[in-house]
Amino acid sequence: MKIFISVILAALVVFGVCFSSGCKKQENATYIAIISAMDNEIADLLKKADIKRVDNISGGEYHVGTLCGKNVVITKAGIGKIRTSSGATKLFENYDISKVIFTGIAGGVSDETKVLDEVIATDLVEHDYGIIRSDGFIWRSGDPGYGNEEGLYYHCDETLVNLAYTSAVEVLGADHVFKGTIATGDQFVASESYVEKLKNDYNALACEMEGAAVAVVCENYGKPYVVLRALSDKADGKAHESYSGFANDAADNSCKIVLKLLEKI
């Protein structure tokens, strides 16, 4: 009897651990992952989703349910490349993820873009990855072996990019939607001179703090991904003021586009 009780208790402990952590081995469902850096970037999505449960995994909350008829896991990974990499990795380790959508806000870099426009990333680049020498910063590849002197760009899934672009046009109109390179770095950019550098060196349309980190994790796991960014500011000397005034509106725009995108997937 003691052995039987011990086996039952052990099974319950394992089940409890799996349930609280998501434990993809206990589920047959495949999910679309939706990731953001901040709460306001997924607030509207959580309101519209039918959330079945919230898994707490190593301090992160993973909202599991359905949205637009699709199985989804929605999470705020946190600001910056390290937090986003950790959050995205926990998604893949705990759920059967088919594809990843990153939604959020960014600073505009291109002269063509305006605040509240949407940029769909075709590719992403780490603008702050390199070497600091006596003669200044030397940008290098995202490859740890520095094998690519031209730098490493991470390419979003073409099908998802096209679907996201079409969705954004339906929400905002063609004049307010752009496709191109987004530059990622662990800084909130509020500098006209650095905006010029991002534009000239990387041909970037926007800059933010997480996209390339998501790309690295998705490519490691061999899963398609896309990054959608609504512009809250122009990354210039007035960036903080613009961000304060437009961040929530920009985040809401990106959420609306994600909803359209989910309908098309």
Q: Is 166 helix (H, G, I), strand (E, B) or coil?
A: helix
Q: Active-site residue 93, yes or no?
A: no
**Residues 100 and 94: beta-carbon distance below 8 Å:** no
- Interatomic CA distance for residues 117 and 107, integer angstroms: 10
**Residues 107 and 208: beta-carbon distance below 8 Å:** yes
- Interatomic CA distance for residues 135 and 32, integer angstroms: 45
Name beta bridge partners: 204.
181
Q: Which of 41, 44, 117, 118 is catalytic?
A: 41
Dihedral of alpha carbons 198, 199, 202, 205, sign? positive
Q: Which of 44, 117, 233, 236 is catalytic?
A: 233
Q: Active-site residue 39, yes or no?
A: no
Count Cβ atoms below 10 Å from residue 54 Cβ, excluding itself.
13
Enumerate the active-site residues: 41, 233
